[in-house]
Structure 1
Amino acid sequence: MIRALITFWNLHRISILLVALGLVFYGVFGYELNRSDSIRLVALFAALFFLSYKLIQFEKWNLRFMVTSGLLFRAVLLFALPNLSQDFYRFIWDGNLILEGLNPYFLTPDAWMARGGPAFPEVSELYEGMGSLSSANYSNYPPVKQYFFALCIYLGGQTVLGSVISMRVMIILADLGILYFGRRVLKKINRAPHLIFWYFLNPLVIIELTGNLHFEGVMLFFFILAMFLMVSGKWFLAVIPYALSIGVKLIPLLFLPLLLPLLGWKKVTGFYIGTALVLGAFLYPLYFPEFTDHYGQTLRLWFSNFEFNASLYNVSESVAVSQGAKPWEFIKQYGAIIPGLTALTTLMICAHPIVRLSKYWFGAALLVICVYYFLATTVHPWYIIFPLLLSTFTNFRFMYLWSATIVLSYIAYGGEEVEERPWILILEYAAVFGFLIYEIIRNKRNLSAIAKNQVRTPAD
């Protein structure tokens, strides 16, 4: 036993030291960091990205070592309250409403408090913690996500810390599921299974999902399970996980048109009907006559009111304002055309015959979601985890760079007010677009490579 340990140490001592250092950095990040401390935040992120890169470089074929490292990094954060986002307070609020037999879509938290407040534990702490923006609006979380909130709050004993821990365990389990099925999908499409570690060990994934409790990981687990079933020829079994993925977060709706060339008319019709029926079944218990209006009000805010870390939108706004446009009017006009432009892009990609092959489908999906986020008015760091995962099934690597540079957006929280700095946005997106253009040019200037995934990089 001792000899085996000595041998293991001699073979992996550098990697073990990297993991130990990573545990210290994640601990500092989770328990000591304040979001307003921009220099420390960016420095920690940069150090963790370097450590994850070296670990993948040294141990990418060592499955047990890599999985253990990823789990240890996540376990360090188990008892920490999220320090980069206050959304978890609203998660717990909505989950408590369901446990009390109340509808989370019926009233805003402000309206509930005006009525005296719901009768669940720590209601004042949750109300104050979520902030005025969240408390003034109806819940925008889809029904399946609401049920997961309620389950986690129940398992956590309806306390804040207990609920945080239970949500964190669920998200960690989801990441393990992504790792398992992601590797199997990579094998199905004849790609190296170790590429999934660019997701599993990515500090953005660990900090934003496990650390800050964003449910993208749960959505992505159901999505990747559905895609595994589809590439395995079991599309009819993929209906339920795909519907659950949409029910956690609506983003997978973007890819429904792309399933047409992959499955064909007959199969995809059954898939669409099945998905709609499953979603309807989950929505039914929470539906009431004003549901569409309440839910729609909050969704429209993301397109016509909010702006953060945008790329093409900021360029368009600057041009429009220089021509005399009013910013608050321009964002409403701009937001109204985003769905149309995204839909047009998706339909154009659907017409490409290469999308019929599962091996190249993920490149098409990556293009669709990147167009959406490049056009979007709001791009929080955790939003790009979906395209980051999709990129592992392609030969494009610009998403890895974006997952590193997007942390610069947190510098906007460095003062008393949230204030974005143009030079930060330029630095972030110049790097991303520059590397993306480089990857396209490297493939003989063939733009269709985004669907064909023909870019070759040393990382492969």
Structure 2
Amino acid sequence: MHGAGRVVGGVLLAAGVLYLGFGVDRTDFTSLFLAFSVAFLGYLIVVAARDGGATLPYWIALGILLRLALVFAFPLLSDDVYRFIWDGHLVAGGENPFVHLPAYYLETGHSVPGLSRELFDRLNSQEYHSIYPPLAQAVFTVAAWISPNSWYGAAVVMKLFLFLAELGSLVLLVKLLSAFALPRIRLLYYWLNPLIITEIVGNIHFEGMMICFLLLSLYLLTRSKYGGAAGAMALSIASKLLPLMLLPFLLRRLWKRSFWVFFVTLGVVTGLLFAPLLFGSGDVIGGFGGSIDLYFRKFEFNASLYYLARAYGYYELGWNQIARFGPLLARLAVGLILIVALGDRTTDWKSLPGLWLAAFVLYLICATTVHPWYLAVPIVLTCFTRWRFPLVWSYLIMLTYTSYVDLPYRENLWLVGVEYTTVLLFFVGERWWKK
């Protein structure tokens, strides 16, 4: 591709991402999806270039600049930031976010500085305890401490942490691609993906921090630094709980290396990270565990297998049986991941990202809720594998924002069907073509 074409691609990507960061209205689906389509077209133009990586430094710089710009944009596509600020003020005030529901702190005698009725009214999670693990809580707390009187300031502080995590992921992508003898240009699949730029730094999702420590753990494993790898994995789990499902794939690989060093270190560091929040006053375990259980029994958004099961439930009994099918599908995901892990006979590190990708995809197709930023890990793992269907998914999943056009929020199940059917067909095509 000629240089002019790549420049056009970069301009389209930047224009779309900046609009999504600074000018978009989440309820205006047409302009939102058009802007994302423009950004994604630019992304495709850039990553499709066959220049041997000669221009890679320029595209890395573009990704850095776009992320840096979005540090100063208040989240427009997600309202999770308000819960982050709420939890930060709680911890800064000496309270445990897993003990009481938010309404408790509006009662007389229970007030905490920074927790106002105005902030409470913006929470999308008023009826359940916090679900965010300790490393995320630490970032929330620092943000509330540095900017106690400004939501915007607190958001910028959190974004700076995620910006640094993304820079760490960039460095680790370069090192891992070199370690696996893969072209460095592949890092652009993640680094310039408009969903990643928009959702992680732009809308403050801690998948970015989870990914940084997950990549660090993988890199240290390739360097036979098992204690450090375990510590990095613990930090990844303390950012989001999802890396727990990846541990079975390490059993065979570590059995004849340093099995006990890794897993004992992992257990100790994870315990130390979670201890300050989980072993305080009140029913901490019940609050935290209850929120996780509620996630599988109540929340539903952009699901695949679950929506098929839900349709059957309506046909069978005439009402929504999420309390039955949600936990059942969660157990199915765990079972399938264990089957894949037990069936794996490889012991090298290069094959691990492909297996982790399989685990995440199995989890997502069994989940009752799949938001766009949930694809962050499959997208980064694409850099190390032959699969590209997560990139197609990263475009189509933005169709879910049509749900926010009306109040109360309502999904267009036809678009959900288009999303999953297209991704499935692309996956089948990839599997057939690359046999």
Normalized against structure 1, the TM-score is what? 0.89
Which stretches in structure 1 are left out of the alignment for 5+ residues? 1-10, 445-460
1:81-100, aligned counterparts within 5 Å?
81-100=74-93
Q: Which SS does the other structure have where 1:169 is aligned? A: helix
Q: Which SS does the other structure have where 1:69 is aligned? A: helix
Query: In the alignment, which residue of structure 2 is the partner of 1:451?
Result: none
Query: In the alignment, which residue of structure 2 is the partner of 1:128?
Result: 121
Q: Does 1:178 align with 2:169?
A: yes
- Residue 310 of structure 2 is aligned with which of 312, 317, 321? 317
Contact 2:71/2:163 (8 A) holds in 1: no
Report how far residue 271 of structure 1 moved.
Answer: 1.7
1:77-116, aligned counterparts within 5 Å?
77-115=70-108
Q: Does 1:261 align with 2:248?
A: no
Report how far residue 259 of structure 1 moved.
Answer: 0.7
Distance, in Å, in 2 between the alignment partners of 1:158 and 1:144 is: 22
Distance, in Å, in 2 between the alignment partners of 1:258 and 1:213 is: 29
Q: Which SS does the other structure have where 2:123 is aligned? A: helix
- Residue 63 of structure 1 is aligned with which of 32, 49, 56? 56
Distance, in Å, in 1 between the alignment partners of 2:78 and 2:310 is: 27
**How far does the alpha carbon of each residue in 1:205-239 deviate from its partner, in whole angstroms, 9 at most, with x for none?**
01111111011101110110011000121122111
Contact 2:330/2:367 (8 A) holds in 1: no
Distance, in Å, in 1 between the alignment partners of 2:14 and 2:392 is: 23
Distance, in Å, in 1 between the alignment partners of 2:182 and 2:189 is: 14
Distance, in Å, in 1 between the alignment partners of 2:32 and 2:135 is: 33
1:283-432, aligned counterparts within 5 Å?
283-286=274-277, 287-288=279-280, 289-324=282-317, 326-327=319-320, 330-432=321-423
- Change in 2 beyond 3 A, CA 1:323/1:136: closer
Report how far residue 158 of structure 1 moved.
Answer: 4.8
Q: Does 1:216 align with 2:207?
A: yes
Report how far residue 300 of structure 1 moved.
Answer: 0.7
- Residue 243 of structure 1 is aligned with which of 234, 237, 249? 234
Report how far residue 117 of structure 1 moved.
Answer: 5.5
1:10-29, aligned counterparts within 5 Å?
12-29=3-20
Distance, in Å, in 2 between the alignment partners of 1:326 and 1:122 is: 38
Report how far residue 143 of structure 1 moved.
Answer: 1.4
**How far does the alpha carbon of each residue in 1:287-322 deviate from its partner, in whole angstroms, 9 at most, with x for none?**
235111111111011111111000111112212322
Report how far residue 20 of structure 1 moved.
Answer: 3.9
Q: Which SS does the other structure have where 1:121 is aligned? A: coil
- Change in 2 beyond 3 A, CA 1:112/1:48: same
Report the aligned-residue RMSD: 1.9
Distance, in Å, in 2 between the alignment partners of 1:354 and 1:51 is: 40
- Change in 2 beyond 3 A, CA 1:118/1:63: farther
Distance, in Å, in 1 between the alignment partners of 2:177 and 2:18 is: 32
Q: Which SS does the other structure have where 1:205 is aligned? A: helix
**How far does the alpha carbon of each residue in 1:35-56 deviate from its partner, in whole angstroms, 9 at most, with x for none?**
1101111111111001112122
**How far does the alpha carbon of each residue in 1:123-145 deviate from its partner, in whole angstroms, 9 at most, with x for none?**
333222223xx122111111121
Distance, in Å, in 2 between the alignment partners of 1:337 and 1:66 is: 44
Query: In the alignment, which residue of structure 2 is the partner of 1:192?
Result: 183
Query: In the alignment, which residue of structure 1 is the partner of 2:111?
Result: 118
Q: Does 1:50 align with 2:22?
A: no
- Change in 2 beyond 3 A, CA 1:178/1:398: same
Which stretches in structure 2 are left out of the alignment for 5+ residues? none
Query: Which moved further from structure 2: 338-347 or 224-233?
Result: 338-347
